[in-house]
Amino acid sequence: MIDLDALDFSKGNGTVTVVTQDSRTGDVLMVAHADREALERTLASGEMHYRSRTRGLWHKGATSGNVQRVVSLHADCDGDAVLARVEPAGPACHTGAETCFGPGKWDALAALDATLGQRAASAPSETSPPSYTRRLLDDRNLRLKKLGEEAAELVTACADADPPRAVEEAADLLYHVLVALRPLGLTLEDLKSTLARRAAR
């Protein structure tokens, strides 16, 4: 994942800068520092550890539960900074905000996928009618029928050379694609991983 011997800890009083990014949304969650011990703990536990002047060695989320599960660690070209891609279990900022830089979920597609995950995980309500998403998740035939309809509508909009309609239909199709994949245990991250592998060929 990362070669600690390739890092230059001499520039930051024994630490390197760590930029922590949500692997699902791309949001930058926080910037902190880590020394060799913190990174060794990170690698051993699979959860982010940092080093600060005031707190010393600290395990992110040890008290709040807002841990950051490590997806990948990559050093920059100079070896004095690390990009940590993580899956956060809760807010990254001590203020309770999702990120230390204001509202997160700047990636609308990732925000949609996260919402679909929440809908899929929640039990159907007994007191109110099911949402459209819930109906799709519960009905395979409806799910596949709508997927076909939205694809056909996008084809028609493109054939008619109608950009405003085409972009609306494309958005509808993306929504239905993500819903159709959920019951198969697949998410936007799986799609992105597949596209990344193809791009690397």
pLDDT at residue 195 in the model? 85
pLDDT at residue 106 in the model? 63
Tokens of 48: 């982010």
Tokens of 158: 């493109």
- Amino acid present at 75: A
pLDDT at residue 1 in the model? 78
pLDDT at residue 55 in the model? 87
Tokens of 52: 């600060």
Establish whether domains 4-88 and 108-199 are of one fold.
Answer: no
End-to-end CA distance of the chain: 20
Tokens of 133: 């998403």
Give the global pTM.
0.62
Dump pLDDT digits (tens) for 147-200.
Answer: 999 999 999 999 999 999 999 999 999 999 999 999 999 988 888 888 878 887
Tell me which residues of the chain have a pLDDT lower than 70: 104-106
Q: How far apart are CA 71 and CA 48, in angstroms?
A: 10
Q: How far apart are CA 19 and CA 74, in angstroms?
A: 10
Question: Phi and psi for 14 in degrees, rounded to 5?
Answer: 90, 5
Q: How far apart are CA 69 and CA 85, in angstroms?
A: 9
CA angle 92, 103, 89 (to 5 degrees): 30
pLDDT at residue 114 in the model? 83
**How is the chain split into domains, by residue range?**
4-88, 108-199
Tokens of 190: 């799986």
- What is 4-88's CATH superfamily? Phosphoribosyl-AMP cyclohydrolase (3.10.20.810)
Give percent of the chain with pLDDT exceeding 70.
98
- 3-state SS class at 59: strand
Q: How many CB atoms lie within 10 A of CB 175?
A: 20
- The owner of tokens 């841990």 is 67
pLDDT at residue 115 in the model? 87
Question: Phi and psi for 95 in degrees, rounded to 5?
Answer: -80, -10
CATH 1.10.287.1080 corresponds to the domain 108-199:
yes
Question: Phi and psi for 11 in degrees, rounded to 5?
Answer: -80, -25
- 3-state SS class at 56: strand
- The owner of tokens 């245990």 is 185
